[in-house]
Structure 1
Amino acid sequence: MSNERIQSALAGATDTRAVVIEEGALARVADVFRENFPESRAVVVADGTEYRVAGEEVQRVLEQGGIGTEEPYVFPAEPTLYAKYSNIELLVGSLEGHDAVPVAVGSGTLNDIAKRAAYETDRPYMNVATAASMDGYTAFGASIEKDGHKQTLTCPAPRAVLADVSVLVAAPKDMTAAGYADLLGKVTSGADWLVADALGVEPIDKEGWRLVQDGLRGWVADPEALAAGESEAMDGLIEGLVMSGLAMQAYQSSRTASGAEHQFSHLWEGEGLGRDRNPPLSHGFKVGVGSVAVAALYERLLARDLARLDVEAAVSAWPSWPEVEERVRALHTLPELERAAVEQSRAKYVGADALRERLELLREVWPELSGKLRSHLLPAEELRRMLRAAGCPVTPEEIGLSRDELQKTYRRALTIRSRYTVLDLANETGILDECVAELFEPGGFWAR
């Protein structure tokens, strides 16, 4: 692992000041806390399972290190803790009784609950990671179910993050696999940023790009070793996940680490896919299937020479906003998702003249852009192999979807974020539906 790389990234972070990732890191909890929260008291926050895994030790080290502590706040081990707003309200109610800094001991759900609760009680917090399961440890915002659907709530990233590699290696394999899938999704999200940059929609930030993409191939190179529990592979995974979060802080946007593959996941999460499982279907597993789906779409797109696109035909077929709004509303059955999809789709809608200008630019840049995309992307089949080797689901059926539902997701996911991705490119050129149809017809990627 490159501590130099992480320390360099911290220089551009807005919230996080310290990241410690090493074997035996739990022994340093008191020192890291004291350095980053001088004169403060601590309160350990965990669920019953994570408290047994690492919370008890964190509490012991804090006390022996001379840190004043409050009684730990421990959510029940069963049922599995879910990131819903009522759990934030419970924690906020407890935190309002003192001024201690929360030390969240857990992974994605617990971190998000503590992150938002700390924000609502106007204090920083620290995270002790227990699984390399997602890139949110060092990211701002918390993914929480509120008012009937998943949404990202405002809150800063932790001031300090500590991860003991021996604890991460011992975590449930599904959690490690989910983190791998989340990290591998940066392949397709990077491609989406290349597209947005080439078309003048959102220029690439060199530092934001470097923090995620420069080390990505190395971090995801050996899924077999990760599945076997090798510490070196775990070092790479947690470094990549932490760097992704720090990149979001530096760029003040998730564009550095999230593209169309996350739109697939966000749509499914908004509809409650896999929530009734125990444990619930992870964010990373949904991102993994989304990444394969998006990479397969890129392959169909790259099979076409868009330098020869009939721009006037595409502009002539382009619907008006009222027509788009009607179509967007028809794609969603949940009122909350429908409203959000209309809002997000309206934000990125362009009229005929602006579309013509964009597509003319596309014709000009396609020879260079297509070369960059081919160089950057991994084949969908290779992504599928890597995910399977890491222990991730790779088919829609494994996450509870039919092929028909997956096929419809391509157009539905387009509507839920204003971020420009390959879904928008295919839609604006008028080839989205035919490209997707090719993926599902006999001999197509999803028919194999």
Structure 2
Amino acid sequence: MSGETTAQLKYDPTDMPGLLSAVREWPDADRVPSIELERVIVDRGAIEQLPVVLESLSPSEVREAIVVCDHTPIARRGAPLKPAVRELLERAGWTAESIELSGGEREEDLHATFEAVDAVKSRLRPGVPVVALGSGTITNITKHACFSYAEETGADSLPLVFCPTADSVLAFAAAMAVISQAGVKRTWPSRLSNVLVMDLETLAEAPRRMTIGGIGDLCPVFTSFADWHLGDVLGLASTRVASWNILEDVRSYLGLCARELGAGTETGLELLSKLIVLGGLSATFAGESAPLSGYEHVTGHMLDMGAEHFKRGIASHGSQVAVALIPHAIAYEHLLARLEPGRVDVSACYPSFEQMEARVKSTFEELDPSGAMGAECWEDYSTKLRAWHEARPRFEAFLEGWSSHRRTLAELTSPARTIVETLAAAGHPLRFEELDPAISETEARWAFEHAHLMRKRFSAGDLLFYLGWLDERFTTQVFEQMHQLIAGVRGHA
């Protein structure tokens, strides 16, 4: 790319009334839930509008606000952001109560757990607006605390504002929260903010690894609808046109503007911010994370679950997902090229519950000898296995109509080389060892081979396993191709 590309978004989230008006014209508009998000501000001075935003949400005489953050040092214009926000509110006549969650020097050291959610929820009060000042973890904890507070007390929904400090995840516009249970990452129904304040000067000072992670979190668009389509065809999921349509700009600009997005220019950050909002809305419209969460995500979750056992920190969620997308895309290429329905032993594709319970629990026993992690994964996986058995007639019909399904899946997946080229242009890591902290290929191969065992959502990883393909030999072949592909792309850069 020789210069900056001017992106003309078809669905600009900074015009929420216009965006929602377009959504109402789509064929499945009646399936799109109503959302709390009224306004998205993406601007270099956005944070300075926070007092006015709070006034619009809480016009009563009681001018109190709760600000949720952590101990991570965050700067804006070279000065600490959090004291500046507090002073900004106080100058406007607001009393700002801070809830500072402790995790470590980096936000990645704080984990979204129900303990953290409860810590925030215990400090909430009826009618007092809440501001989440942080990145993905703070956003997930705060939104779910507010959601749970309203659910449990029967009170009106609290006014809620998200002020992201890094363009790192899609959580800012997703009406769900990723909260760990028994050491296993799970996605729970939650809520959106009323206003999303994306301050470009703050985002510009975020660590580059977090901005790169935000680009990575969008990259599942290259294959995720194929995974979702597989589930839909087999009766294990239900896709939505709205979730596909709202990602048109992401599909258009993610590859085209990859270099600009990765460079962190103001224009690039503005575009990335808007694409991240569209990505989150896609999940919100679906009522689940499936539109941008396929097998690459469960591979990333497996890496998180193994971090403590392997004595390393947790890498950026989005970056893990993007690197895991490369072997996933290669696996899709194998599926599309090699599946011969006439040679499939359908009966062999249906392992017993006893077999799979033993496999699931033994897989996670090394990570958690207490058995809690294995039990949590088996509870989720058994739901998928039961649905898979019940869907046998659909699977047989899928095989009979493979030529048609193959064409559809090919249209819904991008070549692995395209994905690697996009990541390379953005300056994104391409190997697991290049993540921060680094992840060994041994761990990555383990996660890729066994990720299908940790949750109930169906993906190509499940199909490959039930076909008898997904084993150590197949994983080795995929990773060897990954190395060759990366070397080829870098050799031509």
One-letter identity of the residue aligned with 2:45: G
Q: What secondary structure does 1:323 align onto?
A: helix
Match of 2:65, as an amino acid?
A
Tell me how far apart the structure 1 counterparts of residues 478 and 40 of structure 2 sit (CA, whole Å).
42
1:421 corresponds, among 453, 459, 468, to 459
Cα distance in 2 between the residues matched to 1:440 and 1:78: 34
- Alignment match, 2:418: 382
Q: Which moved more, 1:125-134 or 1:197-206?
A: 197-206
194-203 or 105-114, larger mean C-alpha shift: 194-203
Write the deviation string for residues 188-223 of structure 1: whole angstroms up to 9, x where unpaired.
212212222333432321112212355323134322
Is 1:309 aligned to residue 315 of structure 2? no
Shift of 1:18: 2.0
CA contact (8 A) 2:54 2:129 kept: no
Q: In 2, are the aligned partners of 1:220 and 1:237 still within 8 Å (CA)?
A: no
Q: Are 1:371 and 2:407 counterparts?
A: yes
- What does residue range 16-415 of structure 1 map to in structure 2 within 5 Å? 16-39=37-60, 41-48=64-71, 49-50=73-74, 53-66=80-93, 68-75=94-101, 78-81=104-107, 82-85=110-113, 86-95=115-124, 100-122=128-150, 123-213=158-248, 215-272=250-307, 280-306=314-340, 308-311=341-344, 313-316=345-348, 318-333=350-365, 334=368, 335-350=371-386, 354=390, 356-399=392-435, 400-415=438-453
* TM superposition shift of 1:388: 3.4
Q: Cα 1:317–1:152, aligned 2, differ >3 Å: closer, same or farther?
A: closer
Q: Give, in whole Å, the separation in 2 of the partners of 1:118 and 1:202.
A: 28
CA contact (8 A) 2:298 2:454 kept: yes
Q: Which runs of 5+ in 2 are unaligned?
A: 1-6, 22-32, 151-157, 486-493
Contact 2:51 2:92 in 1 (8 A): yes
Q: Aligned with 2:41: secondary structure?
A: strand
Q: Structure 1 residues 419, 89: closer, same or farther in 2, change over 3 A?
A: closer
Asked if structure 1 preserves the Cα contact closer than 8 Å seen for 2:176 and 2:288, the reply is: no
Moved more, 145-154 or 253-262: 145-154
Summarize deviations over 1:135-167 as a string: whole Å, max 9, x none.
001223333345444444553222221101232
Displacement of 1:84 after TM fit? 4.5
- Evaluate the alpha carbon distance shift between residue 91 and residue 328 of structure 1 in structure 2; reply closer, same or farther with a 3 A threshold: closer
What SS does the corresponding residue of 1:134 show, helix, strand or coil?
coil
The answer as to whether partners of 2:179 and 2:188 remain within 8 angstroms in 1 is yes
Q: For residues 391 and 243 of structure 1, what CA distance do their matches in structure 2 show?
A: 22
Decide which moves more: 423-432 or 260-269.
423-432
RMSD: 3.0
Distance 2:147 2:388 in 1: 43
**Distance apart, 1:174 and its partner CA:** 0.7
Secondary structure of residue in 1 paired with 2:401: helix
**CA drift at 1:403:** 3.1
2 CA distance for matches of 1:446 and 1:20? Answer: 41
Contact 1:196-1:421 within 8 A present in 2 as well: yes
Q: Aligned pair in 2 of structure 1 residues 370, 112: CA closer, same or farther (>3 Å)?
A: same
How many Å apart are 1:354 and its aligned residue? 4.4
Contact 1:135 1:242 in 2 (8 A): yes
Partners of 1:421 and 1:200 in 2: CA distance: 12
Verify the 8 A CA contact 2:236 2:387 in the aligned structure 1. no
Aligned partners of 1:84 and 1:146 also within 8 Å? no
Please tell me whether the aligned partners of residues 285 and 392 of structure 1 are also in contact (alpha carbons under 8 angstroms).
yes
User: Identity percentage over the alignment?
Assistant: 26
8 A Cα contact 1:45 1:74, kept in partner: yes
The residue identity in structure 1 corresponding to 2:359 is R
**Aligned pair in 2 of structure 1 residues 36, 9: CA closer, same or farther (>3 Å)?**
farther
The answer as to whether partners of 1:115 and 1:158 remain within 8 angstroms in 2 is yes
User: Is there any run of 5+ residues in structure 1 with no aligned partner, and where?
Assistant: none
Equivalent pairs counted in the alignment come to 441
Partner letter of residue 108 of structure 1? G
**Whole-angstrom CA distance in 1 between matches of 2:443 and 2:222:** 24
State whether residues 50 and 105 of structure 1, in contact with CA within 8 Å, keep that contact through their aligned partners in structure 2: no
Q: Distance in 1 between matches of 2:389 and 2:257?
A: 47
In the superposition, relative to structure 1, how do residues 274 and 345 fare at CA in structure 2: closer, same or farther (>3 Å)? Answer: closer
Compared with structure 1, are the counterparts of its residues 65 and 13 closer, same or farther at alpha carbon in structure 2 (3 Å cutoff)?
farther
Distance 2:298 2:240 in 1: 21
CA 1:206 to 1:214, structure 2 compared with 1: closer, same or farther past 3 Å? farther
1:347: how far off?
A: 0.7
Tell me how far 1:79 sits from its aligned partner: 3.0
Distance 2:103 2:479 in 1: 42
- Determine the C-alpha separation between the residues in 2 that align with 1:328 and 1:149: 13
* Higher mean C-alpha displacement, 36-45 vs 249-258: 36-45
